[in-house]
Amino acid sequence: MNIKQIVVSVVVVTIIGCLYLLPVKGLIKAKEGSKADKANVMPAKRNAAAVTVDMVSATAKAAIGAALTAKINDLEGQLKNASGADEQKLQKQLASQWDDVNQPAPAAFYYQAMARKENKLEDWLNAGNRFNDAYKLTQDTLTQPAFVANAAEAFQSALKLQPESLEGKTGLGIAYVNGAAGPMQGIALLLEVVKKDPKNWNANLNLGMFAMKSGQYEKAVGRFKTLLEQKQELEPTFYLAESYKQLGMKKEAINAYQKCKEMMPDPVFGQRIDEYIKELKN
């Protein structure tokens, strides 16, 4: 697998997961107080310190293959004997290497290590964003709570340095909702962001996704349309199609699914989308 293939696979991994978890036939609209709502809570707790960079790196290396792992292994070997400025330099290089192959979990830990030592805003934001991405991309219920806890720490630290950072508030809001420790507090932070920046991409995307999870598909449609007015991207297009489907707006859903196929010309992906479209036409 080359870097280009990895980039493509990571961009759509959340969509693919959603695609195969959702049924082709029938609505899945959740009702208040339903099991669907209760399922959107933080998984079984694990101490954040129990999840280490070595653990997530091993999983990431298996995903990217030996060829792309070679340079990372070399940098890890150098890091074991490094200290001071050399240690910081190697941590930065490792974070960058993991970013290059779109593996946010190990990258997050290296940015976190730099941030804890230097307490720089950029490092805290980088760490938090990648922990949130790692949570989003994994189905491992043992590591998810650690990713959430570390993301919250990172964004809280960033906001101490820059209290009005919209990126910091957005990231913290996402972490709060993902962790279910304070979902309403998280939503409030995201709403605060879009009040100040109505077109904020990350805040609108996540508000739309959270609206879907709670069965508020009309609100979700509005969020995704706000994004697509700015730029045509696969993720909001797919979620818009699913929201239309749940609202019974078949024509609009079919058009959005067709656009998904155009954006992701993968035969397996396209076949699944065709199943959705066929069901909507019947």
**Weakest-pLDDT range from 22-31, 157-166, 264-273:** 22-31
**Weakest-pLDDT range from 69-73, 79-83, 97-101, 178-182:** 178-182
What CA–CA distance (Å, rounded) separates 39 from 133? 20
Integer angstrom CA distances of residue 239 from 164, 167, 198, 208: 29, 22, 19, 8
Burial 56-80 (b: 16+ CB within 10 A, else e): bbeebbeebeeebbeebeebbeebe
Both structure tokens of 216 = 């508020």
What CA–CA distance (Å, rounded) separates 152 from 147? 9
**What's the pLDDT tens digit per position in 262-274?**
998 778 888 989 9
Among candidate residues 115, 183, 185, 112, the one with its CA nearest the CA of residue 146: 112
Q: Which residues contact 89 (CB under 8 A, 6 or more apart)?
A: 82
Quote the pLDDT of residue 3.
44
Quote the pLDDT of residue 1.
44
Among candidate residues 163, 81, 79, 92, the one with its CA nearest the CA of residue 127: 92
Asked whether residue 18 carries a pLDDT value surpassing 70, the answer given is no
Quote the pLDDT of residue 282.
85
Both structure tokens of 238 = 């797919």
Q: For a pLDDT cut of 70, what percent of the chain falls above it?
A: 82
Quote the pLDDT of residue 39.
37
Domains of the chain: 47-182 (1.25.40.10)
- The residue among 159 and 13 whose pLDDT is bigger is 159
DSSP string, the chain: --HHHHHHHHHHHHHHHHHHHS-SSS-----TTSHHHHHSS--S---GGGS-HHHHHHHHHHHH-HHHHHHHHHHHHHHHT--HHHHHHHHHHHHHHHHHTT-HHHHHHHHHHHHHHH--HHHHHHHHHHHHHHHHH---TTTHHHHHHHHHHHHHHHHHH-TT-HHHHHHHHHHHHHHTSSHHHHHHHHHHHHHH-TT-HHHHHHHHHHHHHTT-HHHHHHHHHHHHTT---HHHHHHHHHHHHHTT-HHHHHHHHHHHHHH---HHHHHHHHHHHHHHH-
User: Which residue is associated with the tokens 């507090």?
Assistant: 185
**What's the pLDDT tens digit per position in 112-148?**
999 999 999 999 999 999 999 999 888 898 899 999 9
Q: For a pLDDT cut of 90, what percent of the chain falls above it?
A: 73
Integer angstrom CA distances of residue 53 from 56, 61, 98, 159, 269: 5, 12, 12, 24, 32
- Whether 58 contacts 106, CB under 8 Å: no
- Say what the pTM is: 0.84
